[in-house]
Structure 1
Amino acid sequence: MLEELRWKTSLSATALHAAYCRARAIPPADGAMGRHLDSAADALAAELDAAEWPRLAMLEYLTALASEFDNNRDLVTRAAAKLRLPRTEAEAPRVAGGVADLEAALMRAQPNLAEELAVRSGPLREQWEARGPGMLREIGRLTEEEVVPAAAEIVVTAPYAGGAGMAHVSQNRVTVEGVLFNPLPALPETVRLAWLLSQLNADLPRYVDLLPATRRPELFAMAMAPPALAAAQEVELAMCDEPTLASAFEGWRLGADLPGDAAARVWSWWSAWLDQPAAWPVAVAALDRLLAD
């Protein structure tokens, strides 16, 4: 059961989240934001490539850790250590410079961003406090109590994609865009937030022992989508049915590398599991086999 939930905003995480979205070819919802940030994001990506560091993995770790560090070199060094990258002495200053340039581009584009983030986080936090705890309790009831973290942190960023978020398992933290409206009316952002938080215990031994390391993050994300929708239906926020799951896969960018029927397969798996429940780690491992066929 979630006992401690901390909220914060971060300018640096906003900038790096935008760079991560850019690296994943996610288009900016606001063309002006793209024009201001994309050049600096590309320059940072080029520095990562020059260092022969994994671009997406490094940008994800930088985003995850950004709210902890004021010094960009310390941030880059810590992210590189998390990924066990062999070289940092020469590469870290150049990458840190790319991060600084990206942050500067963001501040030129949105000089009042700190105040804006405070405004943007308010509605999401109010909506979460009204329905979120109930959703997490229901997710735990439907799957297993261990799936819900005891403590977590939410970092709200300015929108780049018009609605996006990441679960950073190793930091027990999620980043989520502070949108002022629901990009998918049938799927309120509070549901996305419950889904993200429900992924944070994916590194427990009970899951690590059964799920392949390379596929575990996305596999766990897909497995938690139906319980998140079922919990949302329980608190009257969304429907839990196959069309809504398909919308979630599209809106939450799930299964992009899988065949087009991935959402349908996950729905079939969920329906079968409801008929014959098994231990949740075993159920998620079964989903992995189903999607691999």
Structure 2
Amino acid sequence: MARRKTEVRFHAAVDLSVIHAAFVVATGGPCGDAKTEAALVGPTTEINTRLISASVDVRGFWSALFAAVAAKQAARDACEPALLAAGCSELQVDQTAPAIASRLDECRIAFAKRFPKLREQLQLRSGPLKDRWQTYGPGLLIQTAGQIWAAAPPDDWWPPRIDVLLVQPMRGGDGGFDSSEGRVWMEAMLTDADPQVSELFRLAYWITRVAVGRHLSATLGVPSEPSAPEDFGSGTHRVSSLPWDLGCVPVVLAAGHELEILRTDKLPIADAIRLWRLGDPAVGQVVDQWWQQWGDSKAPTPVALKALDRMLEPLRRAGEAAGGAARRGSANTTEHPRR
């Protein structure tokens, strides 16, 4: 079994906290901080209005901006490339970028008023997770790799280092990853939202997704047009036809159970999928059933994931049918949707 230790480095991500909060408010995500939401709704609405008028993909812009700031680029400097990445024409970008940069400055100022000592707060918040990771993290990764690779993972499965960017919580727990850069971001939670689904497992899950993304890029090649790596964790630089995102959940939890970090008779698979914003209860139930059938099968992981993909197919078809009905219904009504 590969035992090369991965260096996990924790960082207080102040600038990224601003963009994360603005992203949540701008894209209508559930926000647990009403005061911050109220402070940011004005400038983010103006930004979205600008984006729409310039025919720019709103969510694509915020994802590209998030990725650039995660890479330590200033938000103001990242505006123009983020706009171009989201479809803004070169003729419009010179006028649009400065206007959006000014609104982002307003977001930064408003956020600083809400959290004047954010760096110190994030460093304090990182303490519990960092301590638990130093105690249990290396063993959890070893056990997780063994689950995926039937106790014989390649020596280079885990990256030599992972940067964990900790941001101010806005959603009661959230995270994402960028496999090509060995980078993970997480909301810095002081306590676990669910005692059975520790933030330790969330971190192990995102690091596992980095390893999977690196492996897929090495074996399948890097796509010519990689997707933005944030988007609340659903994006990476390698999109696979297999449901690695869902399959990795029980793998990490089972590794924790083997190490007696997770002490429960039944793995909280559906709860983790809900808390980590990976799917609804129906998806969680399917993944739970899949793991009961395949968790002890010793089948190669791709084979097991193909079975999971088949089990998820009815939910995908139902979702597509519901989406089509919703679109047809909206075409036959004069009522405007709520913004």
Scaled by the length of structure 2, the TM-score of the pair is: 0.74
Count of paired positions: 287
In 1, the alpha carbon distance for the partners of 2:147 and 2:130 equals 24
In 1, the alpha carbon distance for the partners of 2:242 and 2:88 equals 23
* Alpha-carbon shift at residue 89 of structure 1 (Å): 4.0
* Alpha-carbon shift at residue 2 of structure 1 (Å): 5.0
Letter in 2 for 1:110: F
Change (3 A) 1:59 1:67: same
Whether 2:232 is the aligned partner of 1:229: answer no
Letter in 2 for 1:278: A
Whether 2:198 is the aligned partner of 1:188: answer yes
Alignment partner of 1:164 out of 174, 190, 194: 174
* Alpha-carbon shift at residue 132 of structure 1 (Å): 1.4
* Alpha-carbon shift at residue 226 of structure 1 (Å): 0.5
In 2, the alpha carbon distance for the partners of 1:180 and 1:271 equals 32
Cα offsets for 1:150-190 (capped at 9, x unmatched) = 33210001111121111223432111111111111221111
Q: In 2, are the aligned partners of 1:64 and 1:173 still within 8 Å (CA)? A: no
Alignment partner of 2:132 out of 127, 138, 152: 127
In 2, the alpha carbon distance for the partners of 1:217 and 1:35 equals 39
Q: In 2, are the aligned partners of 1:155 and 1:174 still within 8 Å (CA)? A: yes
Q: In 2, are the aligned partners of 1:8 and 1:156 still within 8 Å (CA)? A: yes
In 1, the alpha carbon distance for the partners of 2:8 and 2:291 equals 29
Q: In 2, are the aligned partners of 1:44 and 1:102 still within 8 Å (CA)? A: no
Scaled by the length of structure 1, the TM-score of the pair is: 0.84
Letter in 1 for 2:285: A
Gaps (5+ residues) in structure 1? none
Whether 2:44 is the aligned partner of 1:41: answer yes
Which piece of structure 1 moves more, 146-155 or 123-132?
146-155
2:176 aligned counterpart, secondary structure? strand
Which piece of structure 1 moves more, 2-11 or 112-121?
2-11
Alignment partner of 1:114 out of 108, 116, 119: 119
2:7 is aligned to: 4
Change (3 A) 1:70 1:265: closer
Cα offsets for 1:231-281 (capped at 9, x unmatched) = 22223333576661111121111124xxx4211211222233334333323
What does residue range 46-125 of structure 1 map to in structure 2 within 5 Å? 46-79=49-82, 87=90, 88-125=93-130
Change (3 A) 1:56 1:287: farther
Which piece of structure 1 moves more, 169-178 or 269-278?
269-278
1:281 is aligned to: 302
2:243 aligned counterpart, secondary structure? helix
Gaps (5+ residues) in structure 2? 222-226, 228-234, 315-339
Whether 2:182 is the aligned partner of 1:179: answer no
Change (3 A) 1:230 1:193: same
Q: In 2, are the aligned partners of 1:255 and 1:262 still within 8 Å (CA)? A: yes
In 1, the alpha carbon distance for the partners of 2:174 and 2:129 equals 13
What does residue range 179-218 of structure 1 map to in structure 2 within 5 Å? 179-203=189-213, 204-205=216-217, 216=240
* Alpha-carbon shift at residue 121 of structure 1 (Å): 1.6
